[in-house]
Amino acid sequence: MKENYRDFPPLIDPITKENLNYISSENKEYMQSSDGSKFEILNSIPRILYEDFDYTDAFGIQWNKWRRTQLDSFTGTNITRKRLTRCLGDKICENLNDTSKETHVLEVGCGAGRFTEVLLEYSVKLVSSDLSSAVDANVINCPISPKHQVVQADVNKSPFGPNYDLVICLGVIQHTPNSEDTIKALYDSVKPGGSLVIDHYTHDLKRFTKLILLFRPIIKRLPAKQRMKFCESMVTIFLPIHKAIKDIPFAQMIFSRISPITSYFHAYPELSDELQREWAILDTHDGLTDWNKRLRTPSSIRKTLEKLGATDIEVWKGGNGVEARCKKPII
């Protein structure tokens, strides 16, 4: 850790905003603030955590259990690469490919690393962060190296200063307590002249017709084992029906509105039957156990970015709802 952390922008104390310094005592490693606050480094991951209620607990369990399920390197597909490069756009991809400069990238809400592994193929120094124990899955999939650092931290108590050429946050903001605060916190870590790339759930029909979502407040409070078992049982019952009608688009459309599970026979027919089942369990669990599930329209995302003073704002409907990117002007 000691050698590694110098290769990356400094971590800062989320409260005092002063740089954290690496210290080691009695065989333990810490990042320490000048006021004496200490954050432990475990498994080479600085844990910039407070004692608050951790609403991301279910995500941590999920990403450690299905650590490889959605990685392109595991599925043999380019599902994640396509989503990532669409969100980045040609210009940012070109910059990330430029080997003549060092591009600092911050990925927030990295989960098990489906985007991390693709980002690491570019000419970048990447810091991946997540509030949950998903960081432990991430370092197994994408080991710490001179180009990769992993930090466990809350985006809303961020240890990252305005040092990153690119801040990317996909599949995350809707799960945080306040989308606008989170977008501001992400924007704050962008270097002047740098870019922010985000996405967000939106108000589409499936969010209002899935009856199972009425039971989400109960399901998300079940003990972890029961939550998993429930999702697995639902998939065992309903996935064969999704499979049986996968070639009848109208039946597929109607059934997926009411079925309690998430199925990908339609969206990703390239996945094998075994992977269809794994993805269905994972994403049914994801969709029924997330603590917060917020929705935003493209225009509200645009307004939030405008309010922050962003330029070159592009917002469109796509992917999981709304996708957006913008730049922070050089003042």
Ligand X SMILES: C[S@@+](CC[C@H](N)C(=O)[O-])C[C@H]1O[C@@H](n2cnc3c(N)ncnc32)[C@H](O)[C@@H]1O
State the residues that interact with ligand X by CB under 6 A: 56, 59, 63, 70, 108-111, 114-115, 130-132, 134, 154-156, 170-172, 175-176, 286
From the CA atom positions of the chain, what is the Rg in Å? 20
Nearest to 189 by CA among 133, 108, 114: 108
> Of 165 and 286, which CB lies nearer to ligand X in the complex structure?
286
Shortest Cβ distance from residue 244 to ligand X (Å)? 29
> Of 109 and 260, which CB lies nearer to ligand X in the complex structure?
109
Shortest Cβ distance from residue 156 to ligand X (Å)? 5
> Of 110 and 245, which CB lies nearer to ligand X in the complex structure?
110
Shortest Cβ distance from residue 320 to ligand X (Å)? 9
> Of 152 and 195, which CB lies nearer to ligand X in the complex structure?
152
> Of 32 and 156, which CB lies nearer to ligand X in the complex structure?
156
Q: Record the tokens describing residue 83, joined without a space.
A: 């989503």
The bridge status of strand 28-32 relative to strand 124-130 is unpaired
Instruction: Indicate the residue type of 303.
Output: K
Shortest Cβ distance from residue 271 to ligand X (Å)? 16
Say if residues 134 and 122 touch (Cβ distance below 8 Å).
no
> Of 9 and 113, which CB lies nearer to ligand X in the complex structure?
113
Shortest Cβ distance from residue 115 to ligand X (Å)? 6
Measured CA distances, 16 to 11, 13, 23, 34, 95 (Å): 12, 5, 18, 9, 33
Q: Cα 1 from chain centroid?
A: 23
Residues in the chain, total = 331
Which residue's Cβ has the minimum distance to ligand X? 111
In degrees to the nearest 10, what's the CA dihedral of 269, 273, 274, 278?
50
Say if residues 318 and 86 touch (Cβ distance below 8 Å).
yes
Measured CA distances, 46 to 31, 106, 160 (Å): 7, 15, 12
Residue for token pair 């710490």: 144
Which phi and psi angles does 53 have, rounded to 5°?
-60, 130
Shortest Cβ distance from residue 113 to ligand X (Å)? 8
- Give bridge partners of residue 327 from the DSSP assignment: 195, 311
> Of 31 and 151, which CB lies nearer to ligand X in the complex structure?
151
Shortest Cβ distance from residue 265 to ligand X (Å)? 20
